[in-house]
Amino acid sequence: MSFEKVAIIGLGLIGGSIGLAVRQDMPGVATSGYDADPKVRERARERQLADVIADNPAEAVEGADLVILCVPVGAMCKAAKAIAPGLKEGCVISDVGSSKRSITEALVKALPGRTIIPAHPVAGTEHSGPDAGFATLFHQRWCIVTPPEDAPEDKVAELVDFWEALGAMVETMDAAHHDRVLAVTSHIPHLIAYTIVGTASDLEEVTRSEVIKYSAGGFRDFTRIAASDPTMWRDVFLNNKDAVLEMLDVFLTDLALMREAIRAGDGEMMHDTFSRTRAIRRSIVALGQDDPRPDFGREHD
């Protein structure tokens, strides 16, 4: 592992967690940080999310071997342009954005000639901001690295080592594939959660108080996801439009089949589908890939 100084731009849930995790898991590696919001910088200093919190982005990246952009997907380009004057020769610029194709294009354009290796830790919570981060967020979670074709192999290997040192399991794939996979496993589930919670609160015969009162079961799990940061998720859907629309069409076809089964009283079709999905859940649990924290996401309720 050869990164000696890591700069973190954006000190919310993910940036703050990286800062705390580097301090805990990589003693000897220096960190610096910057956030566009002065209140976040103040809180980041109080929580010591990085060794040094700079008051401007170019200063934050000075001397860093690795710079990680931890801002909403729609702010990546602006953040990249702002760090450009301070970047050290040969440093790696990475990010943690939830979609990868449009970010890669934006970063390559904003920082020509630089070594850009995007990544996405598939770990998070519905909380955001400088108080949300914690050092163990990436333990036993996947981090997907999406190196462009011309990325130097030694730098990709260093970035993989970095995420493994923070406790993550790392996979590499191309950005387009990442975006199609995450559209199904993360983006559409969030869209469904936002929609069902919105629908329930809109229904005239179900008053808002009843939605809250009877939300102890499955609906409650949807409300956790639907509490996720609106800016972050707006940007994800604006930036992974093609893959989300493709997978949404498949989902809507399956949902229509389910509606037909209910209408036709086709219990066999429903039972078969529900048995298949139950087996999927059980195989995730058997692989140890469900969340190891039993009350994860509920601790702040």
Ligand X SMILES: NC(=O)c1ccc[n+]([C@@H]2O[C@H](COP(=O)([O-])OP(=O)(O)OC[C@H]3O[C@@H](n4cnc5c(N)ncnc54)[C@H](O)[C@@H]3O)[C@@H](O)[C@H]2O)c1
The token pair at 297 is: 């996401």
Q: Which is nearer to ligand PRE, 13 or 29 (CB)?
A: 13
CB atoms within 10 A of CB 126: 17
Q: How far is the CB of 107 from ligand PRE (least distance, A)?
A: 17
Could you say whether residue 124 binds ligand PRE (CB under 6 A)? Answer: yes
Q: Which is nearer to ligand X, 143 or 151 (CB)?
A: 143
Which single residue is written with the structure tokens 């559409």?
A: 188
> Largest alpha-carbon pair distance within the chain?
66
Q: For residue 287, give the DSSP letter.
A: T
78 binds, among ligand PRE, ligand X, none (CB under 5 to 8 A by kind): ligand X
Q: How far is the CB of 235 from ligand X (least distance, A)?
A: 7
Q: How far is the CB of 126 from ligand PRE (least distance, A)?
A: 5
Among 31, 94, 98, 128, binds ligand PRE (CB under 6 A): 98
Could you say whether residue 186 binds ligand PRE (CB under 6 A)? Answer: yes
* CA 205 from centre of chain: 36
* β-sheet with 169-172: strand ranges across: 119-121, 142-145, 169-172
Among 17, 94, 102, 125, binds ligand PRE (CB under 6 A): 125
The token pair at 248 is: 């949404």
186 binds, among ligand X, ligand PRE, none (CB under 5 to 8 A by kind): ligand PRE
Burial environment of residue 18 by CB neighbours within 10 A (0 to 12, 13 to 18, 19 or more)? buried
Q: Which is nearer to ligand X, 140 or 208 (CB)?
A: 140
Could you say whether residue 239 binds ligand PRE (CB under 6 A)? Answer: no
Q: For residue 119, give the DSSP letter.
A: E
Q: How far is the CB of 189 from ligand PRE (least distance, A)?
A: 7
Binding residues vs ligand X (CB under 6 A):
9-15, 35-37, 40, 70-73, 75, 78-79, 96-98, 121, 124-125, 128-129, 132, 229, 232, 236
Do residues 190 and 88 lie in contact, with contact meaning Cβ atoms separated by under 8 Å? Answer: no
The token pair at 134 is: 């914690």
Of 184, 213, 208, 183, nearest in space to 198 by CA: 208
Q: How far is the CB of 4 from ligand PRE (least distance, A)?
A: 28
CB atoms within 10 A of CB 113: 6
Which residues of this protein are in contact with ligand PRE, per CB under 6 A? Answer: 98, 122-126, 186, 225, 297
